[in-house]
Amino acid sequence: MGKGEQTRMHIIRKSAELFNVRGYAGSTISDIMKATGLKKGGIYRNFVSKDQIAAEAFDYSTAILSERLSKAVESADTAIEKMLVIFDVYKDAVNNPPVIGGCPLLNTAIESDDTHPELREQALRVMKQFLSTIQEIIRDGIDSGELRSDSEVVSLSSLILSSLEGAIMASKLACDNNHIAYSKEHLHRYLLSYRTESARI
């Protein structure tokens, strides 16, 4: 990686942390300059606008999260275990989230909902990818005979994603990781109702 690309990645990494902690609207080019140690010219030699930085910073943050989620899912054996380990990625959401500042999908979705349509579209795309991953796990569980054939793939994936993001929000707000643990525990009980009789043996 050349010096120019290293500088560009440095800006993306530092801006990703900044935006995820302070938000897009709450971060200025001066804040990016302070976080990176670069002058304004150094920023604009690599990016045409703050919007471009925000877009690439979001992609960077969600790529880190996606990698952590993929590793967690790959470490589990059954479909139910795969759905539950997703919560383990955020088991210490208060002190040690996979991305500094919390969940980039949650943070960006909330901030960009009515104010930044481009970022909102990025967040929506990532949400759909996340849902698709969960749906694939559920379908694999049905195909393997672990989960009932009438398992509600779309609504169940929505419940899992919504439970996770809501638990992250509650944990961050209350500075209490128990919200993550509670959601995982109750989801586990619910998922067991979808398990086939043969999988219970």
Query: How many other CB atoms are there within 10 angstroms of residue 3's CB atom?
Result: 7
* 97-106 tens-digit pLDDT: 999 988 999 9
Structural tokens at position 66: 């996606």
> Quick check: is 129 in a domain?
yes
* 181-198 tens-digit pLDDT: 999 999 999 999 999 987
Query: How many other CB atoms are there within 10 angstroms of residue 52's CB atom?
Result: 12
Whether the pLDDT of residue 77 is over 70: the answer is yes
**Which CATH number characterizes residue 127's domain?**
1.10.357.10
CA distance linking residue 172 with residue 169, whole number of Å: 5
CB 195 within 8 A of CB 138: no
> Quick check: is 180 in a domain?
yes
Least confident of 33-42, 105-114, 167-176: 105-114
Of the candidates 111, 18, 96, 92, the residue with the CA atom closest to the CA atom of residue 61 = 18
Of the candidates 93, 87, 89, 97, the residue with the CA atom closest to the CA atom of residue 191 = 87
* Cα dihedral 85/87/89/92 (nearest 10): -130
* 47 phi, psi to nearest 5 deg: -140, 145
- pTM beyond 0.85: yes
SS3 letters for 134-174?
Answer: HHHHHHHHHHCCCECCCCCHHHHHHHHHHHHHHHHHHHHHH
> Quick check: is 14 in a domain?
no
pLDDT for position 199: 73
> Quick check: is 162 in a domain?
yes
CA distance linking residue 106 with residue 99, whole number of Å: 12
Number of structural domains, the chain? 1
Percent helix / strand / coil, the chain, rounded to 5: 70, 0, 25
Rounded to the nearest integer, the mean pLDDT of the chain is 93
> Quick check: is 29 in a domain?
no
Whether the pLDDT of residue 112 is over 90: the answer is no
> Quick check: is 18 in a domain?
no
CA distance linking residue 85 with residue 96, whole number of Å: 16
> Quick check: is 23 in a domain?
no
153-190 burial, b at 16+ Cβ within 10 Å, e below that, comes to beebbeebbebbbebbbbbbeeeebebbeebbeebeee
> Quick check: is 37 in a domain?
no
Q: Which domain holds residue 109?
A: 49-200
